[in-house]
Structure 1
């Protein structure tokens, strides 16, 4: 009994669930269930049924969490052992003509380098140009001629910048600035 109390005191300062701590936890919850059953028998109050159900749920949750924590610790230890073993026993390098993946095992990396690059994707046409080509509308073709292409940056825009359009017209910006000037007057 003295060694159990000593082990229990030491397990408080040890990270993770120790066997001694789990035994003490399970004994405490079992004793609480016995007390709640005795109170239910003595008073016949539904409150003790609810308290007993809550106690059982908490008891099961604590045991589940302790098992999951032990499993996680076991997996971490196994991963550390594998990393340590891999550091001490490195894999032999792959020969120059072979690939490490199963899919590319039959093709050599040299043949992959000799393959021509894929053709570039065509740029999308603005809507007025598509409409002019489809319907032969002269006004739409003139509107498309007034469009200027802007270069879109290679990097991703920040959330404050928003997305940039690939096509804009100077007339739209002028209309916006004219409307703002009229509102100020």
Structure 2
């Protein structure tokens, strides 16, 4: 029992659903729901029926979530395995030399950063004109507030007439 409690405590502090945490959750709901149904019949109180329905829905949703999480994790593991296999296939050449991929020269009419279209066609990308260095905006005096909120409240309260008792 001590080892179960230690494993349960460690599984609470680790992310993701662990098997020991799921066992404890399912055992708790398996005891709670029949107890709520018994109390609903014995006490004839509708609140116990609603609590048992809410508990049942929560129990089913927790188990559904764990099932979907396992499916997603298996899919992710499968994708990682396929990616690793593909990477191993690429790097497992018989030659010991490294080759860089061949650089493709730019098509005719393109110079680094500029695009020109052949005669008779419009260019899809137009070069951006440079207008010089960026300058910081000057902050206008109207943007700054020299008045405190207390002064503003005084102005508002000046317009009000005092109420007579």
Distance 1:87 1:153 in 2: 39
Across the aligned residues of Structure 1 and Structure 2, the Cα RMSD in angstroms comes to 2.3
Report matched runs for 1:108-147 at 5 Å. Answer: none
Runs of 4+ in 1 over 4 A off after TM superposition: 152-155
Any residues of structure 2 matched to 1:1-185 within 5 Å, and which? Answer: 1-90=1-90, 154=124
Q: Which runs of 5+ in 1 are unaligned?
A: 93-151, 156-185
SS at match of 1:89: helix
Asked whether the equivalents of residues 16 and 70 of structure 1 are also in contact (C-alpha less than 8 Å), the reply is no
Gaps (5+ residues) in structure 2?
93-121, 126-165
Q: TM-score, normalised by structure 1?
A: 0.47
Aligned mates of 2:8, 2:44 — CA distance in 1 = 36
Greater RCO, 1 or 2 (C-alpha within 8 Å, sep 6+): 1
Match of 1:178 in 2: none
C-alpha displacement of 1:47: 1.9
Give the structure with the larger helix fraction.
1
Q: Deviations over 1:53-101 (max 9, x none)?
A: 1110111001000111111111111111111111111399xxxxxxxxx
Q: State the TM-score, normalized to the length of structure 2.
A: 0.52
Alpha-carbon shift at residue 11 of structure 1 (Å): 0.9
